[in-house]
Chain A
Amino acid sequence: MDVSFVLIILLFGAAATFFVGDKWASKAALFFSTAAFAAAIYVTYLFNQGMGVDLTMNWIKAPRILINFQGDGLSLSMLLLTTALTPIIILASFKNSIPKARSFYALIMFMAFAMAGTFLSADGFVYYIFWELSLIPIYFIALIWGSGDAESRRKSVIKFFIYTFAGSIFMLIAFIYLYQRTGSFLNIHLYRAFLTPQEQFWIFLAFFLAYAIKIPIIPFHTWQANVYQKSPTAGTMLLSGIMLKMAIYSIIRWQLPIAPNPAAEYMYVLIGLCIAGVIYGSILALKQDDLKKLLAYSSLAHVGLIAAGAYTLTLDGLRGAFLQMIAHGFVVVGLFYAAEIIQRRYNTTEISQMGGIRIQTPKFTSMFMILVLASVALPSTFNFVGEFELLYSMAQTNIWFAVIGGTTIILGAFYMLRMFQQVMLGEQNAKLFADITFGEGFVFVIIIAVLLFFGLYPKPIVDFITPDLQKILLQINRFN
């Protein structure tokens, strides 16, 4: 069994979800996504046993393009993240009555397929196809099932699509150029392309455009908050939980090893941009009255820190980025789910309309509290591990980066706790808040269990990804 098996399950699941009809769509999607998760675990197990899980197939002769899915510590950990979050996201939308449910769940499954393919592809061209393919489902999810005024939603979604498409097409040009130089799209061949610093600069820039828009790094972030706010919650979770990780993963997998020179040369600029995003996102989050927008801006801040860590080109930075990607994926899905639960009951996302929930549902309050604390990286949560490594790596580069980047924790604590106070505490609200159901609580329990378990014992993940990160680092440092 190789990694393509997971992809096949996801793709087949998407088709099956579409064909079983509206009534059974959500169950079929949940079943197939869980099956994909199980398959991913099994593939990881095989990989740990030292068995090959790669798949190589010829596809196009001229230009030479292979279908090559590679399982290693990095791609498999991201595959696990994707397949673990997909059932959670599907479970989170169970209670909503969704019109045309079969298309909705089929698109989610298809999106999981495209994202998993992005993580697994070792051939740059196939990677690019999956990368672009993941745009189509999220576009329709946000467009059709989104909330808010139709006209403004249309505008923000089309802006998002054109923005990201424009960025990634330059990446395609970079790949075409690399192909001219090496005669191959395979990443290991591209690593050995022997590019001049000049060439590396342009390649780096082309990749940077694609990734900076997707992550997003300042000043390419303008699409983000509106799309997050207007998408249905499942769409927001897919975007923030997995899709942005595609870009950070790609920085580590493609951009840095292929063109390490500019990354070292302009390190201060890059980290500076990322940290500017951290501060900017935090300050904007402070001013938000919309719960989903607040979470979107906090996500901007966190992701900025992850990208900054990756651009330090240290083992700690790369590892921290990976750990934090996984931790942030879970936490942000949990937080958006909490926002969704409140929205279901109050029909609003405005923070000023909320309050007094704690008295009515202590269970939900404590779960939400843990998620908020995890998000501000309290020790013993998984996020602390990641954030600590990130800040440590930045301290190795320049202590001031760590100092300024560290303010994200302070600012984060400030706006998250204030949000928590306004939303949950306070006088009893006139509006009734029904206690959460078993299904809703179940999702939280899974997320919190993952966060606490790996917060206390991150060793399995660290051991799993470190050898491959070292290999990547060897490629990055090959010129020095």
Chain B
Amino acid sequence: MYTLVAIAGLGILCLIAEIFNLRKAIVPITILGLLGSLVLNVADYGKTLSYFNNMIITDTFSVAFTSLFIILAIFLIALTPVVHKEHKAKISDFVAIKLFLLTGAIAMVTFGNLAMFFLGIEILSISLYVLAASEPKNLKSNEAGMKYFLMGAFASGIILFGIALIYGAIGSFDTGVIYGALLENNNVPGWFFIGIVMLTIGLLFKIAAVPFHFWAPDVYEGSPTLTTATMSTLTKVAAMASFFKLMTTLNRTVPGSYITIISIVAILSMTVGNIMALRQNSVKRMLAYSGISHAGFMLMVFFSPTFTAGTLFYYAAAYTLAGIASFAVVLFVCTNKENEDVYNFNGLGKTNPLMAGILTCSLLSMAGIPIFSGFFAKFFLFHQVFSSGHVAIVIVAIINSIISLGYYFKLIIAMYTKESTAEKQTVPFTYGAVALIALVLNIAMGLYPSFALELIFR
């Protein structure tokens, strides 16, 4: 709980710092502050505590995910000053908005009440609308912001409607009360389930699962690259984690018909995401579609939700760390370029072997090649889905892993076999450091998977 307050306070501090002309100190102070809140957060580990009449509940699940979000936010904020070199005056805004976004994300995994959950999702979404449109002179950024806002507002409306229906059925926003009511009472009104379906639709929109994915490629492509990185890492896993928490706190056992729907969505997301990614030339669009397919993989955790919290965390961490590292390289390569097409990466293996190596490793991790954590994430996931008896979906997932090699390798091949089009440029320290640290964390998770896997217990 203190983490949440501290981070929100840090965001306000950022805004105040601008008034006192302390722009240069903002990023270091924020990162230190975030590290401090990470410690604060870890101090809560192992206990289940509730605050404000169950508005906020912290348990191992929320602490683990909050730590992941904070680490991701540190990476993203560290990248901010280099990316927005031209907008020095606005740096405090960018940092503050990211901090508020983080606050929203944390609220989304620590909620004990649907009102709190909705507040979290709105704080997160509004910050993102602003970030998506944060290049006012760029037509595409405007388009992305507008599109995301319109679609996101609809999704929020649907979620809110769902919450209202659930309230109508049970008479409470408190997840504990709803859970108890469901246990005692067998004939809940039918609109309760309609409410659940609406919540599901809204959240599937937020994680960009097929068939609610149409906004993702356009918004990802149009937004400034750093915002794309934020959306495809932090936001996606925040939405996924809160989806998981919501469904498991409202109802311990997920009913069969719901599983059927989720498995259809998962299969569609994987397949459509991968097949569309094969056809993309823009790296940002490609990563957007790859993110859609990863959302499909992550949805597979619903097949045995009592055991898969750890797996979801591991998958989310592996996917986001690889995402951060690859976006750092994309940012480095595509600054001052007109677009983010694959040909910009031609010859990177010669001009900049370190960054090329990091991008290669991250892509291999996403593709699920051993020793990188992405492989273990897929392995643990397949293992658990397999033991819950859903063999068919594992086979589909595997075929999708094979397809995904196609587009990840397109980029790798461009880096190593084609001649460079651009002259050599030196790597700014932050890009290199962020990419390298993310990769090291990624490999460390691969070499020692037990730690991250067993963080969450009930």
Binding site for B on A (CB under 8 A): 59-63, 103, 125, 128-129, 132-133, 135-136, 140, 143-144, 150, 153-154, 158, 161-162, 165-166, 169-170, 172-173, 176-177, 179-180
Given A143-B416, A169-B398, A177-B386, the answer on whether A129 and B371 have CB atoms closer than 8 Å is yes
> What is the CA–CA distance of A14 and B349 in the complex, to the nearest angstrom?
19
Beta-carbon contact of A180 and B386 below 8 Å: yes
B447 to A, closest residue via Cβ = A59
19 sampled A-B residue pairs with Cβ under 8 A: A60-B453, A62-B453, A103-B353, A132-B369, A136-B364, A140-B416, A143-B413, A150-B417, A153-B417, A158-B409, A161-B405, A162-B402, A165-B369, A169-B401, A170-B398, A172-B382, A173-B382, A176-B383, A180-B387
Chain B stretch 384-421: residues in CB contact (< 8 A) with chain A: 386-387, 394-395, 398, 401-402, 405-406, 409, 413, 416-418
B450: interface (CB < 8 Å):
yes
Across the interface, A154 reaches (CB within 8 A) one of B353, B379, B413, B453, namely: B413
Chain B stretch 306-360: residues in CB contact (< 8 A) with chain A: 349, 353
In the complex, which residues of chain A have a beta carbon less than 8 angstroms from the beta carbon of B380? 63
> What is the CA–CA distance of A433 and B383 in the complex, to the nearest angstrom?
59
A144 to B, closest residue via Cβ = B416
B454: interface (CB < 8 Å):
yes
Given A172-B379, A173-B394, A176-B386, the answer on whether A61 and B450 have CB atoms closer than 8 Å is yes
B211: interface (CB < 8 Å):
no
A162 to B, closest residue via Cβ = B405
Q: Mark B96-135, 1 if CB is under 8 A from A, else 0.
A: 0000000000000000000000000000000000000000
Give chain B's interface residue range (CB within 8 Å of chain A).
20 to 34
Beta-carbon contact of B386 and A143 below 8 Å: no
User: From residue A81, how far is it (CB to closest CB) to chain B in Å?
Assistant: 23
B180: interface (CB < 8 Å):
no
> What is the CA–CA distance of A140 and B413 in the complex, to the nearest angstrom?
9
B449: interface (CB < 8 Å):
yes
In the complex, which residues of chain B have a beta carbon less than 8 angstroms from the beta carbon of A128? 370
In the complex, which residues of chain B have a beta carbon less than 8 angstroms from the beta carbon of A166? 402
Beta-carbon contact of A179 and B413 below 8 Å: no
A131 to B, closest residue via Cβ = B370
> What is the CA–CA distance of A132 and B401 in the complex, to the nearest angstrom?
14
In the complex, which residues of chain A have a beta carbon less than 8 angstroms from the beta carbon of B402? 162, 165-166, 169
In the complex, which residues of chain A have a beta carbon less than 8 angstroms from the beta carbon of B401? 169
In the complex, which residues of chain A have a beta carbon less than 8 angstroms from the beta carbon of B371? 129, 133
In the complex, which residues of chain B have a beta carbon less than 8 angstroms from the beta carbon of A135? 369
Across the interface, B406 reaches (CB within 8 A) one of A60, A140, A162, namely: A162
> What is the CA–CA distance of A162 and B449 in the complex, to the nearest angstrom?
26
In the complex, which residues of chain B have a beta carbon less than 8 angstroms from the beta carbon of A153? 417
B401 to A, closest residue via Cβ = A169
Across the interface, B398 reaches (CB within 8 A) one of A133, A154, A173, A180, namely: A173
A155 to B, closest residue via Cβ = B413
Beta-carbon contact of B413 and A132 below 8 Å: no
In the complex, which residues of chain A have a beta carbon less than 8 angstroms from the beta carbon of B395? 173
Beta-carbon contact of A60 and B450 below 8 Å: yes
Told that A61-B454, A158-B413 touch, could you supply 6 new A-B pairs with CB distance under 8 A?
A103-B353, A129-B370, A132-B369, A132-B370, A162-B406, A165-B405
A135 to B, closest residue via Cβ = B369
Given A129-B371, A162-B402, A165-B402, the answer on whether A63 and B416 have CB atoms closer than 8 Å is no
Top 4 closest A-B pairs, CB basis? Answer: A129-B370, A132-B370, A166-B402, A176-B386
In the complex, which residues of chain A have a beta carbon less than 8 angstroms from the beta carbon of B364? 136
Across the interface, A143 reaches (CB within 8 A) one of B405, B406, B417, B450, namely: B417
Across the interface, A133 reaches (CB within 8 A) one of B370, B394, B418, B449, namely: B370
In the complex, which residues of chain B have a beta carbon less than 8 angstroms from the beta carbon of A179? 383
B385 to A, closest residue via Cβ = A176
In the complex, which residues of chain B have a beta carbon less than 8 angstroms from the beta carbon of A150? 417-418
Beta-carbon contact of B417 and A154 below 8 Å: yes
User: From residue A201, how far is it (CB to closest CB) to chain B in Å?
Assistant: 15
B349 to A, closest residue via Cβ = A144
A132 to B, closest residue via Cβ = B370
Across the interface, A60 reaches (CB within 8 A) one of B349, B387, B449, namely: B449
User: From residue B33, how far is it (CB to closest CB) to chain A in Å?
Assistant: 35
In the complex, which residues of chain B have a beta carbon less than 8 angstroms from the beta carbon of A62? 450, 453-454
User: From residue B386, how far is it (CB to closest CB) to chain A in Å?
Assistant: 5
Residue among A125, A128, A143, A172 having the largest count of chain B Cβ atoms under 10 Å: A172
Across the interface, A63 reaches (CB within 8 A) one of B383, B394, B409, namely: B383
> What is the CA–CA distance of A334 and B313 in the complex, to the nearest angstrom?
51
Chain B stretch 359-383: residues in CB contact (< 8 A) with chain A: 364, 369-371, 375, 379-380, 382-383
> What is the CA–CA distance of A47 and B135 in the complex, to the nearest angstrom?
68
User: From residue A319, how far is it (CB to closest CB) to chain B in Å?
Assistant: 32
User: From residue B177, how far is it (CB to closest CB) to chain A in Å?
Assistant: 33
> What is the CA–CA distance of A172 and B381 in the complex, to the nearest angstrom?
13
Residue among B349, B364, B383, B418 having the largest count of chain A Cβ atoms under 10 Å: B383
In the complex, which residues of chain B have a beta carbon less than 8 angstroms from the beta carbon of A132? 369-370, 375
User: From residue A116, how far is it (CB to closest CB) to chain B in Å?
Assistant: 15
Chain B stretch 404-458: residues in CB contact (< 8 A) with chain A: 405-406, 409, 413, 416-418, 449-450, 453-454
> What is the CA–CA distance of A53 and B280 in the complex, to the nearest angstrom?
51
User: From residue B160, how far is it (CB to closest CB) to chain A in Å?
Assistant: 39
In the complex, which residues of chain A have a beta carbon less than 8 angstroms from the beta carbon of B416? 140, 143-144
In the complex, which residues of chain A have a beta carbon less than 8 angstroms from the beta carbon of B382? 172-173, 176
In the complex, which residues of chain B have a beta carbon less than 8 angstroms from the beta carbon of A136? 364, 369
User: From residue A209, how far is it (CB to closest CB) to chain B in Å?
Assistant: 12
B350 to A, closest residue via Cβ = A100
A125 to B, closest residue via Cβ = B379
Given A133-B370, A177-B386, the answer on whether A161 and B409 have CB atoms closer than 8 Å is yes
User: From residue B451, how far is it (CB to closest CB) to chain A in Å?
Assistant: 10
In the complex, which residues of chain B have a beta carbon less than 8 angstroms from the beta carbon of A162? 402, 405-406, 409
Residue among B371, B375, B379 having the largest count of chain A Cβ atoms under 10 Å: B379
> What is the CA–CA distance of A161 and B367 in the complex, to the nearest angstrom?
12
Q: Mark B129-161, 1 if CB is under 8 A from A, else 0.
A: 000000000000000000000000000000000
In the complex, which residues of chain A have a beta carbon less than 8 angstroms from the beta carbon of B417? 143-144, 150, 153-154
In the complex, which residues of chain A have a beta carbon less than 8 angstroms from the beta carbon of B398? 169-170, 173
In the complex, which residues of chain A have a beta carbon less than 8 angstroms from the beta carbon of B405? 161-162, 165
User: From residue B57, how far is it (CB to closest CB) to chain A in Å?
Assistant: 26
In the complex, which residues of chain B have a beta carbon less than 8 angstroms from the beta carbon of A61? 450, 454
User: From residue B410, how far is it (CB to closest CB) to chain A in Å?
Assistant: 9
